[in-house]
A and B are shown apart, each in its own frame.
Chain A
């Protein structure tokens, strides 16, 4: 054991002895691993990796004390992470357990066009109770994601998204920046009131439509589905009132998000990124929401190494990056400045929970080798019953 390892070990042991609930304790770090997308294990069918996804209505707790009804793949937000090798044959069996329509779009993947998951363009929607089998070869490698493409504005912010990682044994990023640990962070924003109202309205509408479907009465105008643009235009000319004229939805306002999540959780339940001095970690960033984020890391410059999953030939450094809707970006963080550093959206309206700061997509880069002495608080704080930094602060 060299001096560095000795110090590290003794620090952790001291912390564990002095403060069992300390941020660096095994328990806390173990709990933190649960805040990243859960890998979905495939079943091998010959040389095909077969995955099972279902969708159902689910009550999701964003932070303690606040729940709302959501749509969730396999009852998880985000949905489970699908991780395969480039060139793998993939089969995803998708079961719709809701009374709503859905599809799955493989965002960034080069799938056959009939597997792309766009309703009425590449496939019929997967209707209530139905199953659909997606099959494709995993291409290209990199950080991608999947999401529902039916009622996308509602269904995505309701939780229908998950990471899809395609690995490559000759990954140039790993060669350039050798790393052992990597993390996936999926950003989204949710208007819980919009979700509630729209889900209710869609459920009511679908009950009515399924009643008609059972009796074989599909009506193009009622369902607002036409064979061609010309057929639709002609219908309007003949007096048909499209849904955007007759208010057929619950409300006409566009969503105004009031919850901003990373991996489905808002601060203080967001995940932490653990690192050690001298270590390099890879962070896969996915924007599955409809807002643009301006992500800033304190105390470091990081390397932007991939854009939309594609490796950047000449990575460059920055400490604040834009992450637009639908984008993925991979960054490399080098452990060069020991401490606990926040990583958050610099549009600080997103660092809020239901309008109250702090909250939202605030999270921390935590050095595991941080000596516990450096986290000590002053006498006044101890008198207040606080133990060590960082504290969970929800009021300012």
Chain B
């Protein structure tokens, strides 16, 4: 069961079966990842109920191509698309991943459109954006119409890995800027955000013999915003600090329990005293926290059932009106077969203060659906950085 919302690299298969390995050193490795998420949704908003027969947002396809280069480096090209939310203005398909990656054992350079570093960790929700206001640093250049604006952007990133587990990332991005008027095309793609993060993380392959701390991290996002009345770059920038941790409460191969939490502190602009739209929402000082308990039952060395309970709280201390929001997410994934899960999820959100004018008082969403995800590769020619062989028995480029 691949409950991770982020699709892994996937594969085209046409020529693959022919060259399974004979000339593997020279042929590119081809990867295919696919994730289909289809749910029936019932939304209850202010005592009014609406339904969506089919919500297939987040469904997508990723293709990847990897190759050994000279001097111990590897190169990779990833192209992928997904179906955006129905109410978005991104069209039928959104190419969320199109990047080139260059890496050796301890250095990674990434260029192109990809997931921005707006979150330190992932949470066990059905879709990536189910709790976006809590789990991600929000893009202040967006109109708020598309959740993809906060998750994907044009990325320039360098990562260095110390001792296999400590990751230092320095990144610059162009976050999508909603053009004015909105129907026109974006024309400026210059750098509008920079940041860095430092995190300790245990590779997933070493889950069973590293029992407690799985991840601890801190990140800094700095949006190069225009702020009337301020001249210095530092004062004009919108700053966010993110911290996170993941711990294994019970690292048991059959009954696995973990807990994860993340806090995002938006330093904000002190002059923002009211939230009236998405522009002020992203510029008001705020603290968002989100946490999840997850229980995973594994039978026959494969996941069989996952139950997760998540909660988030966000507060805006500088606003004139006491403003905060709260969210609960409970879900269950049950494996029907290899890679195929049935899922049920309930979400409840409540808004207070200025947020009520934007979102209403509360809403509840009930979802039933299926998730099918694959992660396959052909023409394997080298190992992953975090394989047990490479981690514990010497890295082979």
Contact = CB atoms under 8 A, between A and B. Distances in A.
Nearest to B253: A208
Contacts of B93: none
A193 B24 contact: yes
Given A196-B389, A200-B388, A222-B301, A247 B338 contact: yes
Contacts of A248: 300-302
Contact of A256 (B20, B26, B252, B392): B20
Given A68-B396, A208-B208, A246 B22 contact: no
B389 A199 contact: yes
Interface string A58-69: 010000001111
A222 B300 contact: yes
Nearest to B301: A248
A196 B388 contact: no
A211 B389 contact: no
A16 interface: no
Nearest to B379: A193
B396 A69 contact: yes
A378 to B, nearest CB: 33
Given A246-B300, A256-B20, A197 B380 contact: yes
B302 A246 contact: yes
Nearest to A219: B254
A204 interface: yes
B226 interface: no
A200 B384 CA distance: 10
Given A197-B380, A246-B300, A248-B300, A69 B393 contact: yes
A203 B389 CA distance: 8
A237 interface: no
B394 interface: yes
B163 interface: no
B23 A221 contact: no
A212 B298 CA distance: 13
Contact of B205 (A69, A204, A247): A204
Nearest to B384: A200
A101 to B, nearest CB: 15
A115 interface: no
Interface in B357-397: 380-381, 383, 387-389, 392-394, 396
B144 interface: no
Contacts of A200: 205, 383, 387-389
A57 interface: yes
A355 B23 contact: yes
B25 interface: yes
A63 to B, nearest CB: 11
B21 A191 contact: yes
A59 B380 contact: no
B209 interface: yes
Q: Which of B25, B251, B299 lies at the interface centre, i.e. has the most chain A CB atoms within 10 A of its CB?
A: B25
B393 A59 contact: yes
B301 A208 contact: yes
A207 B387 CA distance: 13
B380 A205 contact: no
A184 interface: no
Given A196-B380, A222-B300, A256 B21 contact: yes
B11 to A, nearest CB: 13
Interface string B242-260: 0000000001111000000
Contacts of B206: 207
A222 B25 CA distance: 36
A68 B195 CA distance: 38
Contacts of B25: 66, 354-355
B396 A67 contact: yes
Contacts of A193: 20-21, 24, 380-381
A153 to B, nearest CB: 15
Given A199-B389, A248-B302, A211 B253 contact: yes
A241 B389 contact: no
A241 B393 contact: no
Which of A59, A208, A221 has most B Cβ within 10 Å?
A: A208
A217 B252 CA distance: 11
B390 to A, nearest CB: 8
A356 interface: yes
Interface string B173-216: 00000000000000000000000000000000110110000000
Contacts of A197: 380
A253 interface: yes
A211 B256 CA distance: 13
B28 to A, nearest CB: 14
A192 B380 CA distance: 9
Nearest to B298: A208
B16 to A, nearest CB: 11
Contact of B209 (A199, A211, A258, A356): A211
Interface in B4-22: 20-22
A331 to B, nearest CB: 30
B209 A207 contact: yes
Contact of B208 (A69, A192, A207, A256): A207
B21 A194 contact: yes
Contacts of B24: 192-193, 258, 354-355
Nearest to A191: B21
Nearest to A224: B300
A220 to B, nearest CB: 11
Contacts of A196: 380, 383, 387, 389
Contacts of A209: 253
Nearest to A98: B393
Nearest to A355: B23
A258 B387 contact: no
B380 A258 contact: no
Interface in B222-278: 251-254
Contacts of B383: 69, 196, 200
A106 B287 CA distance: 67
B380 to A, nearest CB: 4
Contact of B388 (A203, A253, A354, A355): A203
Given A69-B389, A196-B383, A355-B23, 10 more contacts: A191-B21, A196-B389, A200-B387, A204-B388, A207-B206, A212-B253, A246-B338, A354-B23, A354-B24, A356-B23
29 contacts: A57-B389, A59-B396, A67-B396, A68-B396, A69-B393, A69-B396, A193-B381, A194-B21, A196-B380, A196-B383, A199-B389, A200-B387, A200-B388, A204-B388, A207-B209, A208-B253, A209-B253, A211-B252, A212-B253, A217-B254, A246-B300, A246-B338, A256-B20, A354-B22, A354-B24, A354-B25, A354-B26, A355-B22, A355-B24
Nearest 3 A/B pairs, CB to CB: A355-B23, A355-B22, A203-B388
